[in-house]
Each structure stands twice: as structure tokens, then as C-alpha cells.
Amino acid sequence: MKILHVSVVGKVATYQNRDGDIVCGNSDYQIVFAFDSDWDAYNEKTARFIWNGRYIDVDFTGDTCPVPIIKGTTLVEIGVYAGDLSTTTSAIIPAKRSILCGGEAPSENDVQYINAAKAAAERAEAAAERAETGYASVKGETLYTNTATVSGEILKM
């Protein structure tokens, strides 16, 4: 489990940079908060994780919170709120995009195009193999490519 440290003093959350970046797409991060005495009355809290214009709230007790799977960003904002209502600023944690952040899955049209291209390549490869043996097939008819006609007979060369 990778531990990230965030201090909260005077309602200001600060990331302790010694812990490194979040690598997107991973589920093994936890944040350990160091709260000042303003937070002593709140055992139950909610951490808000913001990236790419969206957010996820994670409820936790005590001072340790699991980090949700973050995808496709280079920056994560993390803050805490509790009770009726205490809140912090955002602590900024750098993130690195993982290999799983590389784009969207292909659309149905893309899949159909890829499958058609594969089928065409297979047909071309089969035709090339037949041409090497001296035979070719055109619309179901077998043609002899290395042939000569002698007295009306087709001879393979």
C-alpha cells in the first residue's frame, strides 16, 4: 500500500511532497491526514478527490482514507469536509498517467473496419499463396497461371 501524507492546519490542506506522485489507474494508495485540533470533534469525515472536472467523495473515519482509482490526469485536488460544516482547501497532488490512460476503446464502427481489414488481409495472403503454387481462384473458378495450351489441352508448367 502506497501512503500519501496530507496535513490540515487552520483548514488548509497541504500535500507533503516527499511521497511522490499518484500513478493513475492504481488502487493501492491511501492518504494519511494529520489534522489539527479543529478536527478533534469529527471522527467521521469525507474526502473529496477532484480531477478533470469531476469528483468522487470517499467517507472515512479517523485519519486514513483510501484513494479511489484516478484516471487520465496529471493533477488531483484533495480536500476534506465533515459535520455541519467544516471544510478544507484543496491539497494538490501531482499524478502521472499510466498506460491505461491512453485513450478510448474503439467504437463499433472502428471494430467493424478492423475486422473487415483483417479479413481482406487474410484473403490477400491466401491469394498470394495460391499464386505461388501456380493456381489462382477468381470468383470460384480455378485458373492455372503457369500454363500453356497444346492441342487444346491445358498443361501446367
Three-state DSSP class for residue 69: coil
pLDDT over threshold 70, residue 140: no
Average pLDDT of 60-89? Answer: 94
Query: Would you place residue 136 in the very low, low, confident or very high pLDDT band (cuts 50, 70, 90)?
Result: low
Q: From CA 143, how far away is CA 137, in angstroms rounded?
A: 6
pLDDT over threshold 80, residue 87: yes
Q: E strands of 52-157, at which residues?
A: 54-61, 64-66, 75-82, 86-87, 91-96, 135-138, 141-144, 147-150, 153-156
Q: Which three cell numbers stand for residue 69?
A: 482509482
Average pLDDT of 99-104? Answer: 73
pLDDT over threshold 80, residue 73: yes
Q: From CA 45, how far away is CA 120, in angstroms rounded?
A: 59
Query: Would you place residue 146 in the very low, low, confident or very high pLDDT band (cuts 50, 70, 90)?
Result: low
In this prediction, residue 118 carries a pLDDT of 81
If one counts every other C-beta atom within 10 angstroms of the C-beta of residue 139, the result is 4
This prediction has a pTM of: 0.65
| Peptide bond connecting 155 to the previous residue in cis, omega within 30 degrees of 0 | no
Looking at the domain that runs over 2-101, which CATH code has it been given? 2.60.40
pLDDT tens digits, residue range 1-48?
Answer: 899 999 999 999 999 877 889 999 999 999 999 999 999 999 999 999
Three-state DSSP class for residue 22: strand
Whether the CB-CB separation of 49 and 69 falls below 8 Å is answered with no
As annotated, the residues of the chain forming the CATH 2.60.40 domain(s) are 2-101
